[in-house]
Structure 1
Amino acid sequence: MKNLRLFLLLPVVACLSSCLSLNSDEQQAEAAEKAVLAKHDELMAQMDQLTTLRQQLQKTPGPDTVAAGRHRRALLAADAAMMDWMHRYQKPADTVAVAQRLAYFAAQQQRMDSVAGLFRTSLDSARLVLGK
């Protein structure tokens, strides 16, 4: 009788453990998505700085005009990279396999890291040129 109960409970335990692992996979996908969107939000908070510096560089007089133009174009490139990412980002449907969603979010995180690098270098170099 004990063996029969154990035999009948075995599939339930197996199903339960697989359901729990699916839940943790789902949680991983949600966490990966949140990380990508958090990086996006962090960069969007810097857009005002980017615009302000670009406008200040446009007003730079004299011999620094060429350098200012180069740095202004770098700020425009960072802005364009963010806009491009936002237009291309498309959250995968919940019906897409978790592994595919995780791969998508990993690729999106790499892209956001690249955009963040553009932001950082263009903002820092613009500040140097403007003496800030």
Structure 2
Amino acid sequence: MKIITGVLLVFSLLAGSCQSETKEHSHPDGTTNAAGPVAELEKQVLATHDSVMTQMSELMRLKKVVSTQLEKATDAATKQRGLAVREQLDGADQLMMDWMHEYNGDTLKKLDQAQGLVYLKDQQTKVNTVREAMQKSLADAKRYVD
């Protein structure tokens, strides 16, 4: 009896997995595999986010280096510049955290294609702002520590 139950369980699992999937399927990372311009723009937005995320460890490393140099700085101009650089790094970090907190891929499931494109274009603008702030703060911090 246990063998028959096991065989039936395996067949039911196989049958369920072989059924055709719906056109739109949610992934654990929040993306969908919906076809069309919404899916393509969503991929672009998330690719931009992913490229910025790879720079976060460098940002944190530079924050530590800048803070260490600030402690050792003796003249006011160097301290002032270091404080501005650290504030810029903090700002870029906060922009990224805010964007990640506010972005909601589940929103796309509730919107039609036109609304989805509007939402994603807005998100692309925001994540591009994050990327630009990150790149500028990293470049300024590297100049400061060198």
Query: Which of the five TM-score ranges fits, normalised by the shorter chain?
Result: 0.7 to 0.9
Structure 2 gaps of 5+ residues are 1-33
The 4+ residue runs of structure 1 with deviation greater than 3 A are none
Q: CA deviation at 1:93?
A: 3.7
- In 2, distance between residues paired with 1:34 and 1:75? 27
2:42 counterpart residue number: 33
Q: Is the 8 A contact 1:40 1:112 kept in 2?
A: yes
1:66 aligns with 2:71: no
Question: What value does the CA root-mean-square deviation take over the aligned residues?
Answer: 1.3
1:54 aligns with 2:63: yes
Q: CA deviation at 1:95?
A: 4.2
Q: Is the 8 A contact 1:50 1:75 kept in 2?
A: yes
- In 1, distance between residues paired with 2:108 and 2:36? 15
Superposition TM-score, scaled by structure 1 size? 0.77
Alignment deviations for residues 77-119 of structure 1 (CA, whole Å, 9 cap, x no partner): 0000000001101122424210000110000000011111100
Aligned residue runs from structure 1 range 98-117, under 5 A = 98-117=113-132
- In 1, distance between residues paired with 2:55 and 2:135? 10
- In 2, distance between residues paired with 1:93 and 1:30? 10
1:128 aligns with 2:143: yes
* 1:90 match: secondary structure: coil
Structure 2 vs 1, CA of residues 98 and 26 (structure 1 numbering), >3 Å: closer, same or farther?
A: farther
1:84 to 83, 98, 104: 98
Q: 2:142 is matched by which residue type in structure 1?
A: R
Q: CA deviation at 1:69?
A: 1.3
- In 2, distance between residues paired with 1:118 and 1:33? 21
Q: Is the 8 A contact 1:68 1:129 kept in 2?
A: yes
Superposition TM-score, scaled by structure 2 size? 0.70
